[in-house]
Amino acid sequence: MMKRLMTGLCLGLFVSAAAFAAKHAANHAAIDLTGLAKPGEWAMTSVASVDGKAEKPDTDKSCLTTGDLRDFVSHDGGNDPKGTYNLAGHHLSFKGDYRVGGRKEGTMSQDMFFDDPTHWHGIMKILITDKSSPIKLIRVQMKARRIGPCTPDSDN
């Protein structure tokens, strides 16, 4: 379950499905990343730490289209965080509430740094404030690289 949560959180940071963007367009302004990243198939490696205990690295691949980059809306695997997005130069950040099922569970911050159009790295931190949760702090370090054009087998 933790691997699924981490994969959803990490992929959610960068991969935006068109349906999600359309559904949430009224709540979030689109962020255009076309000048910072190239469309294509991307491989993202993440290393999560839960309450200080490191998980095994995980690598996932996904296809990003020009539309995905043009209408990028950051999200955390569908849990719809409420907060502020900021794009300044090559740095994309998010700060706000971490929500599960519409209920605030904690606070969240994400930072992505675009090294060039084919590489980025970032970090995400979630501080769980819900006293009933056995997890208190999730920290995920990520790096991604474009590996080529999208293929029929690419996740999109």
pLDDT digits (tens, 9 = 90+) for 28-78: 567 888 889 999 999 999 999 999 999 999 999 999 998 888 877 544 444
**Encoded tokens for 43:** 């491989």
pLDDT digits (tens, 9 = 90+) for 15-24: 432 223 333 3
The predicted structure's pLDDT at residue 86: 87
At position 93, the amino acid (one-letter code) is S
| Prediction pTM value | 0.73
pLDDT digits (tens, 9 = 90+) for 111-149: 999 999 999 999 999 998 888 888 899 999 999 999 999
The predicted structure's pLDDT at residue 73: 59
User: CB neighbours of 35 closer than 8 A, spacing ≥ 6?
Assistant: none
The predicted structure's pLDDT at residue 134: 87
The predicted structure's pLDDT at residue 103: 77
**Encoded tokens for 78:** 């569908």
102 vs 131 pLDDT, higher one: 131
Q: Is the pLDDT of residue 25 over 60?
A: no
Report how far residue 113's alpha carbon sits from residue 125's, in angstroms, rounded to the nearest whole number: 15
CA separation, residue 154 to residues 40, 104, 109, 131 (Å): 9, 34, 28, 40
Query: Taking Cα atoms as reference points, which of 85, 39, 86 lies closest to residue 63?
Result: 39
